[in-house]
Amino acid sequence: MAECLHSGRFSLTILCLKPVVITERVRYAETDQMGVAYHGAYPAWFEIGRTAYCRQKGVVYAELERQGWALVVVELKAAYKRPLRYDDTFEVHTTVAQASPRGLTFGYRIVRDGVLCTEGTTRHLFVAMDTFKPASAPAEVVKKLAG
């Protein structure tokens, strides 16, 4: 179910979607000296979840780039609630929280054994690959990702 908000000339769709869920495991290289997952590993796990989300929705990122579009990260937020440790198995739950022809906001929840460990968002802007300037994405791409 989607709710549309309008504010002046800006329109934003807030989406409520079932998340795409993938399972990962904390690798030794992703931990600090104490065996706790290093905070820098989380953006990579967000990207793994985002890529799985896009594929499941029928948008292969490499194909999007071949068509001349890129989806660049312009903001990343993460709130660390509980630590992950070496060899923990966890799930990355990914949704689209906001969508417009100019960009998307993905939402993430990292969960271990049913317990929320981290939640975050990444905000993305569509750009044309030839100029790297902001551009509106093809409507069918936004529709697939938003639904």
Single pTM value for the model: 0.87
pLDDT at 13: 44
Task: Return the pLDDT at 12.
Answer: 40
- The per-residue pLDDT for 15 is 55
pLDDT, residue 1, reads 42
113 contacts: CB under 8 Å, gap ≥ 6:
none
Q: Annotated active-site positions, please?
A: 32
**DSSP 8-state code for residue 88:** -
Q: Are 94 and 37 in contact (CB under 8 A)?
A: no
User: 3-state DSSP call for residue 136?
Assistant: coil
| Element spanning 64, H or E | helix 61-66
- Residue that has been written with the tokens 């600090």 in this structure: 32
Average pLDDT, the chain: 90
Beta-bridge partner residues of 85? 36
Helix (H), strand (E) at residue 75? strand 69-80
Residue 41's φ and ψ, nearest 5 degrees, are -80, -25
**Which amino acid is residue 71, in one-letter code?**
L
Q: What is the pLDDT of residue 20?
A: 96
- SS3 call for 41: helix
Low-confidence ranges of the chain (pLDDT < 70): 1-17
Predicted confidence at residue 147, as pLDDT, reads 78
Query: Where do the domains of the chain lie, and which CATH numbers do they carry?
Result: 15-146 (3.10.129.10)
As to burial, measured by CB atoms within 10 angstroms (0-12 exposed, 13-18 middle, 19+ buried), residue 127 is: buried
